Amino acid sequence: MDPLSRYPDFDEIYVEGSSTYQLFQERFDTRVVSDKKTIDIFAATRPQAKWLKCELGEPLFRISKIAFDQNDKPVHVSELFCRANRITLTIDNKRH
């Protein structure tokens, strides 16, 4: 399904810097209720190395996210790239 058929005029009414999720809820009655993030590590390509000011082949974290609405339909996909030498992961587990 083409995203613009589900969200007509989205590209015309979205204002850069505003909340996409708020627009989904207010204009299209779509609530983002969950997301799935995947973290993997791989070597920087030439364009990524240039963008992130790192060496070609340097380890990068890629954080991929898919957000889902109240009907478990995907509504948002994003990728974040970070230099591995600038990341700290903290895992805090609590048992009840």
The residue assigned the tokens 């791989």 is 42
Asked whether 32 and 19 are in contact (CB, 8 A), the reply is no
Q: Which pLDDT tens digit goes with each residue over 51-96?
A: 999 999 999 999 999 999 999 999 999 999 999 998 888 888 888 7
What does R_g of the chain's alpha carbons equal in angstroms?
17
Prediction pTM value = 0.76
- Give 25-87 as a DSSP string: HHHH---EEEEEEEEEEEEPPHHHHHHHT--TT-EEEEEEEEEEETTS-EEEEEEEEEEGGG-
Q: Which CATH number fits domain 3-86: 3.40.630.30, 3.90.1150.10, 3.40.1410.10, 3.40.50.620?
A: 3.40.1410.10
Q: Residues 29-52: what's their mean pLDDT?
A: 95
1, pLDDT greater than 80: no
Report domain extents, the chain: 3-86
Angle at 16 between CA 14 and CA 21, to 5 degrees: 55
Identify which of 5-14, 44-53, 77-86 has the greatest average pLDDT. 44-53
Q: What is the pLDDT of residue 3?
A: 64
- Distance in angstroms (rounded) separating the CA atoms of residues 84 and 82: 6
